[in-house]
Amino acid sequence: MNKEREHIRHKVSFILELWDAFSDQPISDAALLVQTEDGRRPIRKPEGFYVFTDCLLPTVVTIESARYEREEIRIIEESTQSRILKKRLRPGKNYPIPEGTACLYGTIRPNSQIEVFVEENAGLWHLLSDYQVKRSPDEMEIFNPLKKDLVGRRFYIQDREEKNTDFFEVKQQEGRSGKVFLAEPLKASYKKAGTKLYECSSARADEKGRFLIPLKLRTQGEEEAVCRIWTEDRSDKATIRPGMRLEWKPIE
């Protein structure tokens, strides 16, 4: 007589899709420690998918790695359906930076955020329509010529008069179209004409204030590029070349 085989069914709570913010490639790394606050770990799938089952929500997921910055993601229960949440992990101090990559490094206030964009990279992105903060605060249309996945990318926006500026992150995207949904509304409205958009590279300084940011430059050969640097309390400009490691020292 055969014994009845018991089947245990697990419910998918949510799925994390992890990507390398610099290489723009999915991360499927067994050395990556991904777990909820009560110690639950995911099933690691190809192409950067980490599947969590039978979790009590809300919860906080921590991601730790020698190569990437430590991240904490708060997961809330918005529906009973499975959800895929995309997160771009930023390079850490032990990140294998490709030879010839321009890098910005230095020391700022411990645990503070730093944002960097390259002025020469203007023109790749721009608005397809006016952004109206009162009418559609969470929606924007971005010209996306390379049909890139914009989810998780950070941008700097500046109007024609340079009166209004802001940083924002894309939370969702409708296919490969230009329509995106923002993680948070901007502080002001922006006209399509004259508004500039720059994709940002960012980092959080460690407990000693140290940071390192690899930059993607679209310059050729030894041509210099100007990068804009923003911290929580100041902004600055610096000139950098491909392959250069530039130490940035903020003026006190």
The three-state DSSP-derived secondary structure of the chain is CCCCCCCCCCCEEEEEEEEECCCCCECCCCCCEEEECCCCCCEEEHHHEEEEECCCCCEEEEEECCCECCEEEEECCCCCCCCEEEEEECECCCCCCCCCCEEEEEECCCCCEEEEEEHHHCCCCCECCCECCCCCCCEEEECCCCCCCCCCCEEEEECCCCCCEEEEEEEEECCCCCEEEECCCCCCCECCCCCEEEECEEEECCCCCEEEEEECCCCCCCCCEEEEEEECCCEEEEEECCCCEEEECCCC
Same domain assignment for residues 19 and 113: no
pLDDT of residue 251: 63
pTM higher than the cut 0.75: yes
Same domain assignment for residues 149 and 191: yes
pLDDT of residue 1: 44
Does the residue 4 lie in any domain?
no
**pLDDT tens, position by position, for the chain (252 residues)?**
444 455 567 888 999 999 999 999 999 888 899 999 999 999 999 889 999 999 989 999 999 999 999 999 999 875 544 588 999 999 998 899 999 899 999 999 999 999 999 987 666 889 999 999 999 999 999 998 888 899 999 999 999 999 999 999 999 998 776 899 999 999 999 999 999 999 999 999 999 999 999 998 876 666 888 999 999 878 899 999 999 999 998 765
Same domain assignment for residues 16 and 109: no
Same domain assignment for residues 52 and 20: yes
Same domain assignment for residues 130 and 73: no
Same domain assignment for residues 47 and 159: no
Q: What is the CATH number of the domain that holds 65?
A: 2.60.40.1120
pLDDT of residue 80: 46
